[in-house]
Amino acid sequence: MGGALLGPVIGAVASRVGTGPAFSAAAVADVLLIVAAFALPRPAEAEEQQGLRAAWPALRDPHVSAGMWLTALAGMAFGLVDVLAPLRLSRLGVSAPLIGLTFLLAAAIEAGLAPLSGRLSDRRGPLVPVRISLAASIVVSLLAPVLAPAAVLITLLVLGLPAYGSLFTPAMAMTSGGAHRVNLNQGLAFGLINLAWAVGQGIASAGGGAIAQATRDLVPYSLFAAVCLATLLATRPAARSLITRLLTRGKRTSA
């Protein structure tokens, strides 16, 4: 996820030093992270081993499925923005270093908002920050493809992109809580989160870019805003009750 947030920054560095050195440095960083992961100590107490098959029943838990969907939605947002926003900024005359700085500032603000989103989720429930993030995401998605000049668009991206990333904290809390309730290993739950992110980002980056090329940027952004609106409406009590009943009925049928 961090790589996706800082992807445009790496692109800006590549515009200065060349793609070879920039992406080679990123590859070295990945190797160092892999080595660090293998160096982590094993848990003191051996936990019950669970295979991937144990994760499928957990998908019927409303909290797990909702957390995965919100994560996929955030992945869609960044997949779309990381492809289209730098191109639009470039068309408006913004240099590559300034594009990278724009995304870096947005990532910094998002990092600062994450603890606040977590505290709000603890005090008021996860749906409160989710609704705020979804409403802001709709506004950002509809404005990003049309705002000009460049300074106005940069301001929107710096202040607005954290709305997408703010979905992560409550989404992971919901998935973790649901996994605990159905006795799913937290490592597998984290794997589901990463899978949801990857699927969302992959679909939006490829599909959004293709749709924008065939039409205009406003079309994929509007489609994403519509998905955010549908998700926001689904957080209403009546919709949540219906979704829970459908998931429960599916679980009983499969049992």
Mean pLDDT throughout 2-16? 65
Rounded to the nearest 10°, the torsion over CA 133, 139, 141, 142 is 160
pLDDT grade, residue 21 (50/70/90)? Answer: confident
**What residues contact 247, with CB distance under 8 A and at least 6 apart?**
60, 61, 62, 65
DSSP code, position 47:
P
Per DSSP, the three-state class of 219 is: helix
Phi-psi region of 125 (alpha: psi -120 to 50; beta: other; left: phi over 0): left
Distance CA 223, CA 215 (A): 13
End-to-end CA distance of the chain: 35
Place of tokens 């913004």: 94
Residue-wise pLDDT tens digits, 79-119: 999 899 999 999 999 998 898 889 889 988 988 888 888 88
Show me where the domains of the chain are located.
60-254
pLDDT grade, residue 230 (50/70/90)? Answer: very high
Q: What is the pTM of this model?
A: 0.80
Fold category of 60-254 in CATH: Growth Hormone; Chain: A; (1.20.1250)
Distance CA 89, CA 86 (A): 5
- pLDDT averaged over the chain? 84
Question: Is the predicted pLDDT of residue 250 greater than 70, yes or no?
Answer: no
